[in-house]
Structure 1
Amino acid sequence: MRTSTVAIALIAPVVQAGLRFGCSSLTIQRLDPVVEPGNKPSAHLHHIIGGNAFNATMEGDVGERGTCTTCEMSQDFSNYWTAVLYFKHPTNGSYHRVPVTNNAALATGTTGGMTIYYTPHDFQTDDIKASPITAFKPGFRMTVGSPTTSSLADANKHIGLRYNCLTTLINRGAEMADFPTKPCAAGIFTVHHFPRCWDGVNLDSPDHQSHMYNTIKHDGFVNSDPCPASHPVRMPQLTYETVWDTTKFNNLWKSGDPQPFVWSFEGSSGYGTHADYMFGWKGDSLQKAMNQSNCFYDGCGSITKQQMSVANKCTVKDQVGENIDGWVSALPGRSA
């Protein structure tokens, strides 16, 4: 989200529609039920938030199976995940996982995690009646971005996948398609905007992306072009924001050294940033929220918020059992 949009989001003008809420971290494991269903472990490490139905294999109505969630919105048992950021030591080549820290303006008690958005349009447009929003369906899943993206030209095609070098949690500065080239005073901010136009038929596709169409041209939080005939159904704009606390490594990043951060899939550039989504809202709770207007971050009159002290008790078992903390000679799943 661009700096100007940050101000809009935090001030929350009178006319607003959509949801903005925090979810604490659920688990950090090598599991990926969308791209690698059934694999224990998956190829690389993921940071996961949301409902406790998360597993190596997930089919059908995830929301009905969940019994707790790390999200503030108590009816959201969806799962959201991204790759994990690591710092590579410039001298000995060892790796250290970068912790996730709280984003600005989240509920008290949120632990790491992400900020999640479901917005019908943008932050200042209230035209829901003119362009109805259809909520995701049980069994729906999708991805955005790809770990195989390796060039700036290809990364620039994904307008909604960006980085910010934080001065503070509020002052984000310019958006970038790649990792920052200097130490960041308050960490590295990542944003993942998903496509918002659906083909109206398929809950998934072989590449986990073709059933959706991306109309974002300039900024993920600004209204985009109409949905095409091939993907005519307008769905909520789903967005993840994550703050990686890179500050503890700033003193190890010496002037003139190359950029030292890598994703858990061993991408030396930031171009391969990507994210996965598995829908899991209870019943029609998300649709009811999307039918409302003049609401933002308050449950839209139909969703109950839970205390984060309750959300933080939600956990899942470690199904892989490997060391992901401290200094390690190789990234999890990769040879030294």
Structure 2
Amino acid sequence: MHWPLLLAFTSVVAPSAHALLRFPCSQLVTQRFDPLVTPGEVSPHVHQIVGGNAFNLTMDPNNDLPNMATCTTCRFQEDKSNYWTAVMYFKHPNGSYTRVPQIPNHFTGSPNGGMTVYYIQPPNLEPVTAFRKGFRMITGNPMLRSYDKIDPDSAEAYAVTFRCWESTAPFDPSNMSPPGVGNYDTVHLPNKKCPGGIRANIFFPSCWDGVNLDSPDHKSHVAFMTGRVDRNTGLILRSGTCPSTHPVRIPLLFYEVYWDTRPFNDMWPTDGSQPFVLSMGDPTGYGHHGDYVFGWEGDSLQRAMNTCTDIGGVPEGCRELTLVTDAQINSCTQRPQVNEIVEGSYLEKLPGCNPIQAGPASATMVANCDAVSTTGFRSDPTSVNAPEVTASPAIITAAPAH
């Protein structure tokens, strides 16, 4: 959102005070890793990952990520967390695939792709408990291919949406509504050309059980606020109550990913079919999802939540945290460790075992997937500076998706 617009929106529909952090994170690496759902194994589908460079195949919750990481792709030096989502591809008429690039969101500087991350505080600046070491969670379900069984007024129905921008201008009418609502946002991938590109909106639950840092499904320890969602305002500045099972209010974590679909508009299929597909073989968008592993230094996030109470969310306004430059975040990268091409050229098929499954039934995993990847994993995958193994590459088989 454009911040003057957000301020105006807040004064009209949500007059109680809010606060947030909003900052860019550039691309760290793009590969088939998902250490939450498939730790120690290559993921079935490609993800784009941002954040601290201690990201690895296992992400043991006992790891001290802030001390292991030597840099971060995010605007605040203290934030060594990792954030990741699925990747978008364009399917050409001949059946080949090209990765859709990501570009900077409005008013975020010049990060190299990646995403915009928000930490949003509740109305009236109610006390919010920052995430703790070892905390992680996911939102969305990559197997979904319809919302038929989801209450359209529930938080889940607004958690993952897409915006079809009519132009790249921040004051364009297609950028005047909160994420997930208005005439330009849909719960599925837009079924028309978007002259300004497509933005994915991904919200996480903002209530915690106060005990578990994770759960077997990476979801049960968190919950969305109770009650029906206002169709005019969505989730970003929503008031509400946490359920009794999850009474602790945590920051509302929100991702915006700007997919530059503009170069493909002239290649739109002549039959009018929607040509974009997410990396798990999802042409609908219902299966979009996000993952999060907490990695802030010490109590820096809690201090920021306590003192950085500007609704504008401009990073420079939070003096509690240390800023890093575009050059610094763009130089923080990892070399892909899975020996396969996932971007930068035409692909005969989506990496992994991901045939197109359009639904409406939920997607299913490919049985006996024979898509293996050779890789030169570091000798110690939890060590950021360990040398890569180049001889006798390991054979890693794809594991079930989440």
The answer to whether TM tops 0.5 is yes
Name structure 1 gaps, 5 residues minimum: none
Q: Offset of 1:228 from its aligned partner?
A: 1.4
Q: Offset of 1:335 from its aligned partner?
A: 6.9
Distance change (3 Å), C-alpha of 1:23 and 1:315: same
Report the Cα distance in structure 2 between the residues aligned to 1:222 and 1:12, rounded to whole angstroms: 8
1:185-222 Cα deviation digits (max 9, x unpaired): 11111010100000001111011000000127241212
Matched, 1:332 2:351: yes
The corresponding residue for 2:202 is 192
Report the Cα distance in structure 1 between the residues aligned to 2:246 and 2:9, rounded to whole angstroms: 34
The corresponding residue for 1:116 is 117
**Equivalent AA in structure 1 for residue 157 of structure 2:** H
Normalising by structure 1, report the TM-score: 0.91
Matched, 1:144 2:163: no
The corresponding residue for 2:166 is 167
Task: Kindly report which structure 2 residues correspond to 1:52-71, keeping only aligned pairs within 5 A, or say none.
Answer: 52-59=53-60, 60=62, 61-71=64-74
Report the Cα distance in structure 1 between the residues aligned to 2:272 and 2:140, rounded to whole angstroms: 28
The corresponding residue for 2:331 is 313
What SS does the corresponding residue of 1:301 show, helix, strand or coil? Answer: coil
Report the Cα distance in structure 1 between the residues aligned to 2:262 and 2:218, rounded to whole angstroms: 34
The corresponding residue for 2:21 is 19
Q: Offset of 1:162 from its aligned partner?
A: 0.5
Normalising by structure 2, report the TM-score: 0.76
The corresponding residue for 2:301 is 286
What SS does the corresponding residue of 1:250 show, helix, strand or coil? Answer: helix
What SS does the corresponding residue of 1:327 show, helix, strand or coil? Answer: coil
**Equivalent AA in structure 2 for residue 152 of structure 1:** Y
Name structure 2 gaps, 5 residues minimum: 12-16, 175-182, 356-402
Distance change (3 Å), C-alpha of 1:149 and 1:84: same
Report the Cα distance in structure 1 between the residues aligned to 2:45 and 2:8, rounded to whole angstroms: 34
Contact 2:189 2:283 in 1 (8 A): no
Residue identity (%): 44
Report the Cα distance in structure 1 between the residues aligned to 2:33 and 2:252, rounded to whole angstroms: 25
Contact 1:16 1:293 in 2 (8 A): no
Task: Kindly report which structure 2 residues correspond to 1:256-267, keeping only aligned pairs within 5 A, or say none.
Answer: 256-267=271-282
Q: How many residues align?
A: 325
Q: Offset of 1:257 from its aligned partner?
A: 2.2
Report the Cα distance in structure 2 between the residues aligned to 1:9 and 1:58, rounded to whole angstroms: 38
Larger displacement relative to structure 2 (159-168 or 205-214): 159-168
**Equivalent AA in structure 1 for residue 208 of structure 2:** W
The corresponding residue for 1:96 is 98
Report the Cα distance in structure 1 between the residues aligned to 2:347 and 2:55, rounded to whole angstroms: 27
Tell me which of 4, 7, 12 is aligned to 2:5: 7
Tell me which of 75, 84, 92 is aligned to 2:78: 75
Contact 1:145 1:158 in 2 (8 A): no
1:78-124 Cα deviation digits (max 9, x unpaired): 000000001111x21111111111110102x3111111000112xxx
The CA RMSD over aligned residues, in Å, is: 2.2
Q: Offset of 1:312 from its aligned partner?
A: 1.2
Structure number with greater Rg is 2
The corresponding residue for 2:388 is none
What SS does the corresponding residue of 1:22 show, helix, strand or coil? Answer: strand
The corresponding residue for 2:178 is none
